[in-house]
Amino acid sequence: MNILVLNGSPKGENSITLQTVRFLEKRFPEERFSVLHVGQRIRRLEQDFAEAEDALMHADLLLFCYPVYTFLVPSQLHRFLELIKERGVDVSGKHAAQISTSLHFYDVTAHRFIRDNCDDLGLSYLGGLSADMEDLLKEQGRKEAEDFFRFLLWRKAHGLSEPKRCMPKEFTPVPLSETAAPAMLSGGRVAVVADYDPDEDGPVRALVARFLRVAPFETTLVNLREFPFAGGCLGCFHCAADGTCVYKDGFDAYLREHIQSADAIVYAFAVKDHSMGYRMKLYDDRQFCNGHRTVTMGKPVGYLISGPLSDETNLMTVIEARAEVGGNFLAGVATDECDPDAGISALCATLRYAVDHAYRPPKSFWGVGGLKIFRDLIYQMRGLMREDHRFYKKHGFYDFPQKRKGRIFGMYLVGAMMRSKKLSKKIGGKMTEGMLMPYKKVLEKAERETVKN
């Protein structure tokens, strides 16, 4: 079988993810592996796609191989998928699978993105392996990689691909109303980060223009198509060590001075390939110039999106989780699926409230779980990621459970009492009453403060 490895890592042959492929290549010598470094060579492929098209046409199985970057695949691999569709390369009927490495930080959304695009391309999707970066160094990790590949070969031999879950749909945006009165400015600044062709009157441009007209804020518009990006994130971790990016295109300074300095941020883009499009993903990845530091926490965010967002549950998960992990309040998402006028008005009003009241809702699993993964990573790698470590330490992110010695000791005492049949019988329902005592004190205090005020 001819297996074409689409290596989405910008590190090329030095990719950690690719080492799992090299391991499988040695363990399954009867299969023919070839590697196309699409992440490292994306600029060249944009100019000449002939080599990639030839490799795609001669492959039996496309194996997407990448590190997870910011909830999804690296922007370079995102762009490669766009190029396949733009060039009209017909890979339908071929098989596909994926291998990723990460710390299991939203690997599920990255895998869903690849799978949805496989459906678009008519590929028969066989499955994916999500590995930890160090799994290949462990016997169990190597076994899991071999087991995955054997299962993949078995599925292909028996024609047992995954059922298709997503098909491209036609979409017609709901137009905005003809008129809208400008709002009175009332303090605060919103940065609008958009991706649209400035020379065309498209739906994203219309959404942005309406927001700029009715928003009760001073606004700064940043169109990503006008910024001279030198390239996508390289995953070099230089920024985590000293806070600076290796690129000299000025993006890190521009980001901090013009965007992250605002009181709120609004993102505007069209749904493309089940995501936000290559440029917005490039912007997202390049924000890693802040390392793992949630430098905009406390700022509300909003979205202006053109396209069938209600069909894109994975993209909506990315949007919601991205806000929670960053410590941002998601003030709303206005789309042109239905009544964009009302959506933009609601977004403006909610942003106004969030800025005025510094509103920050508590996190759900998406935010709590995601941050704990990075908490453990930064603590282990604090010798390298010095800037990240300072930030996490300053903001109290190192909330390790082993630090709560009083609670741990108390649970030992409770456990010992519960194991005693005599004491357990004597305590009976008083255990629940004891658990409620701290909450009763909170309620009593709230009542006293209400009466006093």
Q: Does the pLDDT value for residue 28 go beyond 80?
A: yes
What CATH number belongs to 2-157?
A: 3.40.50.360
Class of the CATH-defined domain 189-365: alpha beta
Q: Per-residue pLDDT averaged across 172-179, rounded?
A: 88
* 429 against 247, higher pLDDT: 247
Which ranges in the chain are annotated with CATH 3.40.50.360?
Answer: 2-157, 189-365
- The pLDDT of residue 406 is 84
Q: How far apart are CA 108 and CA 124, in angstroms?
A: 19
Cα distances (angstroms) measured from residue 361 to each of 248, 251, 313, 329, 415: 37, 30, 22, 7, 34
**Backbone phi, psi, residue 315, to 5°:** -65, -40
pLDDT digits (tens, 9 = 90+) for 286-342: 998 888 888 899 999 999 999 999 999 999 999 999 999 999 999 999 999 999 999
Q: Per-residue pLDDT averaged across 3-29, rounded?
A: 97
Q: Per-residue pLDDT averaged across 260-264, rounded?
A: 96
pLDDT digits (tens, 9 = 90+) for 59-88: 999 999 999 999 999 999 999 999 999 999
Name the burial class of residue 43, with classes exposed (0-12), middle (13-18) and buried (19+) by CB atoms within 10 angstroms of its CB: exposed
Q: How far apart are CA 76 and CA 124, in angstroms?
A: 23
Q: Does the pLDDT value for residue 165 go beyond 80?
A: no
Q: Does the pLDDT value for residue 359 go beyond 90?
A: yes
Output the pTM of the full model. 0.92
Q: How far apart are CA 371 and CA 384, in angstroms?
A: 19
Percentage of residues of the chain with pLDDT beyond 70: 97
Out of 92-96, 100-104, 159-163, 442-446, which region has the weakest mean confidence (pLDDT)? 442-446
pLDDT band at 100 (very low <50, low <70, confident <90, very high): very high
Q: How far apart are CA 406 and CA 45, in angstroms?
A: 59
Q: Of 40-54, 151-165, 170-184, 239-253, give the range with the top mean pLDDT.
A: 40-54
- The pLDDT of residue 299 is 96
Q: Per-residue pLDDT averaged across 404-430, rounded?
A: 76
pLDDT digits (tens, 9 = 90+) for 140-150: 999 999 999 99
